[in-house]
Structure 1
Amino acid sequence: MSRYDVQGRHELEDRIRETVRPERGEIPMFVYSDPGVYELEIERIFGRTWQFVGHLSEIPNPGSFVTRTMGEESVIVGRGDDTIVRVFLNACRHRGMRLACEDFGEVNMWRCPYHGFTYGSKGDFLGTLMGAPFERVAYPEGLDRDALHLVEARTEIYKGLIFATWAKDTPPLEDFLGDARWYLDLIVGRAEMEVVGFPERWVLPSNWRLPSENFASDAYHTATAHSFLTRLDLVKGVDFGRDGYHVDPGGGHGLGVGVHFDEESYFPSELADEYRDNLDAGQFETLSRLKNMHGNIFPNFTFLIPNFIEVEGRRVSGAMLRIWQPAGPNKTQVWSWHLVERNAPEWWKKLGRRMYTQTFSSSGMFDQDDTENFEMQTRSSDAALYRREEFVLHYAMGLDAPPLEPGEFPGPGDVYDGKFSESAARTYYRVWRDQLLEDAR
């Protein structure tokens, strides 16, 4: 049941309008834990925007599928005989029971475990009701198969990334991604990529937005939260997260590009030709200087190339994709994928998997630091709900700093010299606020 009646929702919308002021670097703390805010997010953001649901390499064959979540709704992501990927609400049209109760599989059809209604999982019959037990007896008048087709989301793919949305009038995916595509290519478009194994999942007692905005904008925390890297002699100093560029590509997306000043690329020389074939000159130059990259596609899809660390005499990193799936105002289900070049040398795959596990898996060193911060922030927000006066957070880093001039950096968007800025976070909250208030009176 909603916490708010109609009047209460209008008052909440007014409160958001009056207190969420990203143009001044001011975000009130109540927005992280308020149940009414969460209801608006599920309806007006996750009910309408593009959401990442998987990678093509996870469903390689006709009939293969994975189950994922859009907002709070379970969906089936499946590939047909025609190689087209479709996304369906994971609910039988008879009584709403989940059709696919497995995380993944490869089947000829989906059969509801409640009453046995069966739906095609391949070709022209993908999502179509194929039949029901004792159909001639139970339904002598027949079943309207078109009316009972699975509910289908709109689906588009970018460089192997599968996105879906329930909205029919949302702009095309490439328009939604905008200038962020140039940077996404550095992680998913530089070569033929594949997911290693299966995504990890765990539950985090945090609002979903805190980690999302962290990856969009916050390189500043690395010197404090991840200072162990220096103590373990894995980096030269605590300022390892500063060198590079903060990028505000618009649309609520954001990222940071960390660079090194060595002569040679940190990526495998064996893949240089493939990188060059897939990237433009500016992208290839940027990749050759890259030592880390973090980013978030609005609202909750994170990508990461962790800081390169020397292991067994080689510099290595383990690329990651992640979604922060909302499961309540202060509860998030984390999905995390390790991504690697399909044609990479074995040493890069082996050590990359090791670095992913040690740094940004469910038990990774970085995640242990970050998730404790997200949990404590959420607890503070819970307490702030009961304060009479607003507890306003400070998002003003780099507020008056101008971006680089065109030509000073090869990538698009507003690009700032040095990664210490909150420009992308301010844009994130501007987009978030505007979408939350889109249907307001």
Structure 2
Amino acid sequence: MNAKRDTSSYATGSAHDWRSVTADRLRGTVDPEQGWIPMFVYSDPDVYRLELERVFPQTWTFVAHVTELPEAGSFVVRDIGEESVIVGRGDDRTIRVFLNSCRHRGMRLACEDFGTVKSWRCPYHGFTYAASGDFMGTMRGAPFERMAYPQGLDRDALHLIEARVEIYQGLVFATWNRTGPSLRDYLGDVRWYLDLVVGRAEMEVVGVPQKWVLPAGWKLPSDNFTADAYHTATAHSFLGRLKLAKGADFGRDGYHIDPGGGHGLGVGVHTDDASYYPDELRTEFADRLDPAQMVLLDRVKNLHGNVFPNFSFLIPNFIEIEGRKVSGMMLRTWQPIGADRIQVWSWHLVERNAPDWWKRLCRQMYVQTFGTSGMFDQDDTENWEAQTRNSNASLHREEEIMLHYGMGMHAEPLTDFPGPGRVYDGKFSEAAGRSYWRRWLDLVLEEPTK
């Protein structure tokens, strides 16, 4: 389906009304309910500007796992949208998030990815801020302060800009939205499924996150993890050929789930009699999950999902190694660094109390499948790069190129599934993808609150 593009507003519009021009274009082309999404939204610079204004400041962003901040003064540097933030732990064990920007000239305070300090000192002019204690984020001093500022400094006015922070199952989220929903309400029904991934046991991050730059629009991988199990039969068909899966359709068996809020996931299940997880962990699992969650976890052979807008989680397909079935669980953020570029952040998590063999083999499986040079990532990133090149090439076409998002549109959800949300039999569906695009469209068309 191609749609004629209305260029009249571009011919008559002035530079200051690019927002209304772009919004009109989106209203006329993005149609999740009918299963049509225009290709230009993947990488259009004006669409991206709206996202930086209206999506990332208004939503909750995953910034760290609590185990990355083991002691007072420990910190990591992450991003909300394109804004660098410091995630730090105080003496009171509270985790706080600050804009990584000195209040003097806007220089980044923390230029390392992580560390442990008692204060953050600006490398430009030396303004210093507390990195721990009850006064975390307060301005503590400046070089030659009495000579440079004989009238004194209003230190309260120079406090680092602080984000709102909440934690769920060890996942640290932050937002600039002071009046929006709580994190629990924002996550909604996806929490029930996140529990299977990060809440089933006490989890810990292994090592530091891997990161790399990818020439692709950030919504492509987010959309992929939200709703796309269909690509596995083609893009990852090597699993069947190498006898690592029963066949090319290994990605279909299970459930496609639309939990609302723009979030989405798929749960692949096996038919074997026993769970693939170590027996040593069953007591901890049972203490943390309800019986229905335990039944589903015992059947999991893979699980992919995305918390809107750009936080993905994955239990990859269990693969036999050294005679044992293992899976290298991971978390991902698709950090935008431009309309058509992202920095990928990838964390490997494992149960803290797991046997050593499980930890060792899961780490090995993570590196081989979804690490920076993993077998699956090479398949996926090649597709996302090519899609982005096509999107860029289409930006100035007279006709819009419309893409089909209609899979599973007329399917009825199950009525007897124990978990929440709209749940569909089989993972080949785009129902959650349509909800993702509806949530996205609502946000980019909404004027931000003053």
| TM-score strictly above 0.5 | yes
1:168 equivalent in structure 2: 178
Matches within 5 A, 1:147-186: 147-186=157-196
> How far off is 1:123 after superposition?
1.5
Provide Cα deviations, 1:237-267, integer angstroms capped at 9, x if missing partner.
Answer: 0111000000000000000000011110001
For 1:94 and 1:270, the matched residues in 2 are separated by: 54
**Greater displacement, 132-141 / 37-46:** 132-141
Per-residue deviation at 1:387?
1.2
Aligned to 2:201, which of 191, 202, 208? 191
- 1:387 aligns with 397
- Per the alignment, residue 71 of structure 2 pairs with 61
SS for the counterpart of 2:181 is coil
| CA deviation string 1:109-157 (max 9, x = no partner) | 1111111111001121200011111111111111111000000000000
Distance in 2, matches of 1:258 and 1:9, equals 41
Question: What is aligned with 1:431?
Answer: 439
Q: Give the aligned partner of residue 301 of structure 1.
A: 311
Structure 1 alignment gaps of length 5 or more: none
Q: How does 1:76-115 map to 2 (within 5 A)?
A: 76-115=86-125
Question: CA separation in 2, counterparts of 1:341 and 1:141?
Answer: 55
Letter in 2 for 1:121: A
Q: Give the Cα separation in 2 of the matches to 1:325 and 1:202.
A: 10
Partner of residue 75, structure 1: 85
Q: Tell me how far apart the structure 2 counterparts of residues 359 and 200 of structure 1 sit (CA, whole Å).
A: 13
C-alpha contact 2:84 2:100 (8 A) present in aligned 1: yes
Offset at residue 9 of structure 1 (A): 2.2
CA distance in 2, matches of 1:99, 1:80: 17
Q: Does 1:132 align with 2:179?
A: no
For 1:315, give the aligned amino acid: K
Percent identical across equivalent pairs?
A: 69
| Residue number in structure 1 paired with 2:294 | 284
- Kept after mapping to 2: 8 A contact 1:325/1:333: yes
Give the aligned partner of residue 242 of structure 1: 252
Contact 1:55 1:160 in 2 (8 A): yes
CA contact (8 A) 1:282 1:410 kept: yes
1:212 aligns with 2:228: no
Kindly provide the CA deviation profile for residues 284-319 of structure 1, in whole angstroms up to 9, marking residues without a partner as x.
Answer: 111011000000000000000000000000000010
Name 2:413's counterpart in structure 1: 403
Q: Distance in 2 between matches of 1:38 and 1:7?
A: 15
Moved over 6 A (4+): none
Say which SS state the counterpart of residue 158 (structure 2) adopts.
Answer: coil
Supply the distance in 1 between the matched residues of 2:80 and 2:318 (Cα, whole angstroms): 32
The equivalent residue for 1:123 is 133
- Equivalent in the alignment of 2:5: none
CA distance in 2, matches of 1:365, 1:294: 17
Q: In the alignment, is the contact (CA less than 8 A) between 1:242 and 1:419 conserved in 2?
A: yes
- Residue in structure 2 matching 1:412, options 416, 420, 440: 420
Distance in 2 of aligned mates of 1:4 and 1:79? 47
Three-state SS of the structure 1 residue aligned to 2:366 is: helix
Rounded Cα–Cα distance in structure 1 between residues aligned with 2:260 and 2:366: 29
Aligned to 1:5: 15
How many residue pairs align between the two structures?
436
Task: Report the secondary structure of 1:337's partner residue.
Answer: strand
1:309-330: CA deviation from partner (whole Å, max 9, x where unpaired): 0000000001000000011111
Distance between the aligned counterparts of 1:395 and 1:128, measured in 2? 49
Query: 1:4 touches 1:36 (CA, 8 Å); kept in 2?
Result: no
Q: Which runs of 5+ in 2 are unaligned?
A: 1-12
Calculate the TM-score normalised by the size of structure 2: 0.96
Report if aligned partners of 2:214, 2:381 keep a CA contact under 8 Å in 1: yes
- Paired position in structure 2 for 1:258: 268
